[in-house]
Structure formats: C-alpha cells, structure tokens
Amino acid sequence: MNKLSADFQEKFNEYEQVFLASHNYSLYTRRAYLIDITQLLDFLASKGLTTLQSISLRDLDAWLAELDRKSLAGTTRRRKASSVKSFFDFLERSDFVSKNIAKRLIMPEIETKRRRRLSKEEYQRLEAVVANKPKKAAIIQIFLQTGIRLSELVNLDLRDVVRFPKVISPKPEDAGILSIRSGKRKKDRIVPLNEKACSALKIWLQERPKDIKTEAIITSKFRNSKNNGRITPGGIQKIVRKCFMEAKIYGASVHTLRHTCASWYLKNGAKLTSIRDMLGHSNIATTSIYLTEDEEQMIQDSQQYSL
C-alpha cells in the first residue's frame, strides 16, 4: 500500500482489527474487503491523495470507472463499491469524518447472465472422467449432489460427516448427512449425502492419507506448515478445471456444478424450499432463479404448442 497520512493509516488498521472483527464477517469476507480498500487507497495515492480530507466523491467515481476500463465484471465492481461504503461508514461512525461521501456513491449494475449448467451428457462425461480417481470423484460428486459452495467444501472436516451409512443404498434412511459449519453469512446447516455422494466419499476416505495432520476431508498433496495439508480453494478449482478439460466441457466453473445440482433437483420434482435449505440461500427469491426452464424444454414446448 502506498504511504498514507499517519491518522489515515491508524484508522485503516482500526477498521481491519476492530470493525470487521466486531461485525463477525467470515475470514473470506474480511480478506476481500481489505483487498478492495487497499486497491482503492493505492489508486488514490497514485493521484497524490493520501489524506482523507483530500478525497472527493469524484475520486471514488474515478476509481470505479478505472475498474470498468479494466473490464471487471459488474458483480466484482459492485462488491468493491460495497467494501468502500463499509469503510467510509466506519470512518463516519468513528467521528473521523463529518460527512460520508461514499453514501452518494452509485453502485454498479450487475449484468444479467445466463447461468451455465451442465447438460445430462456433460455431467455423465464428467462422471466417467473421475470414475477411477477417488479424490476427484469425491470433489465432483459432492459438488454435483449437494450443491455446496467452494469455500464450504474446503472447510469440511471429518467430524462434519455427522451420519454415514454402513451400507450405501438409494434408500432415504441410508442417506448420509453433512454439517456445514459457518457457511455464507456464518449460517450453519445440514446437507444430505445421497447414494452417489456417499459412495464417492467412502472410497476417497479409504484412500485419504492417514499420516496427515489436518482434519480436512479433502486434502492437498502439498503439506506445508500454513495449511497442514488442507486443500486450498485454488487447489480445488485447478482439479475441477482439469476434469472439465478431460471431459471436453467448456465455459464451466466450480459454481457451474452448484447450478447444475439445483437445476437438476428442481427439474425432477424437488421442492423449492428444500433446494433453498440445501444451498443455504437466505431468501427463496434467490432459489427461484432455477424455476426458469432450460433451453431443451423451451425448444420442445415451442414445437408442441406452436400457433
């Protein structure tokens, strides 16, 4: 970070150590907010603005415009704007400023994009690719069958498998159960493990290294002192990307597996409220996006019900 005035630097440190911690944000959210604000302060310092009194609303707008020129997505720019609003709200509440210029900052619009999900043929190819690879199969099947988030899979420990059937079967009473601790917005929830997920997880746990310190379900081959063998989000993303490449699946990401899970369950009759609870959505309106019919169904309907 470029050099700030002493009082400005002190307030930045207080924001990091007191404000973010007192609001009980997740470590991921805290890290994202600090990165966003640091980038803003670097931008302002490059313009010779190192004191709070020298910053205007126009300067904040100029920073958002710079992010747009760098082709950052609307969702990313909106999150960064939220970080800045949070920081200036803290400054106002701590009486460091008398006027919060960020209150008038206009939030960038979010682009409406078609949510990528795998077709039946694609996820069958993906399953075939990982069929004899226990670790990859566990990752892919947990994502596909439960729809949990990337950060949630990374944080799963062995103790989070609160129920695991002795006999893997399609019977509801034989379903496994995962406990998702401190998901998004630090909400705990229970997620069922169906037959496919249980089978893949059972095989991986038999192969999982026994001489590893971490309690993480998904481990890394790199056992440095920082994570003791727990895989990182980047590590899982790398594995999933390789699986997509082998299965000849393009334009997909880890989050695509979450969309695929939700869309598939809904298409096959699952209740919207059940999907909401499984995915950990706060508002059922968020889950309702999966109510839109897929392209295949639209094509069939247009042929069948044409005028």
What pTM value is reported for the model? 0.65
CATH superfamily of the domain spanning 6-104: Tyrosine recombinase, N-terminal domain (1.10.150.130)
Nearest by Cα to 212 from 202, 201, 224 = 224
CATH class of 120-302: mainly alpha
Q: Is the pLDDT of residue 185 over 70?
A: no
> Of the given ranges (55-59, 188-192, 277-281, 300-304), which has the lowest mean pLDDT?
300-304
Q: How confident is the model at residue 36 (pLDDT cuts 50, 70, 90)?
A: very high
Q: Which residues pair with 230 in a beta bridge?
A: 219
What is the CA angle 27-204-192, rounded to 5? 65
CA–CA gap between residue 78 and residue 36 (Å, rounded): 11
Token pair belonging to 28: 């991921």
Instruction: Collect contacts of 20-29 with beta carbons under 8 A, ≥24 apart.
Output: 24/186, 26/151, 26/182, 26/184, 26/185, 26/186, 28/151
> Which residues belong to CATH 1.10.150.130 in the chain?
6-104
Q: Is the pLDDT of residue 283 over 80?
A: no
More confident residue, 193 or 291: 193
Task: Calculate what percentage of the chain has a pLDDT beyond 90.
Answer: 33
Q: How confident is the model at residue 304 (pLDDT cuts 50, 70, 90)?
A: low
pLDDT in tens, 126-146: 999 999 999 999 999 999 999
DSSP assignment string, 168-188: --S-GGG-EEEEE-S-GGG--
> Which residues belong to CATH 1.10.443.10 in the chain?
120-302
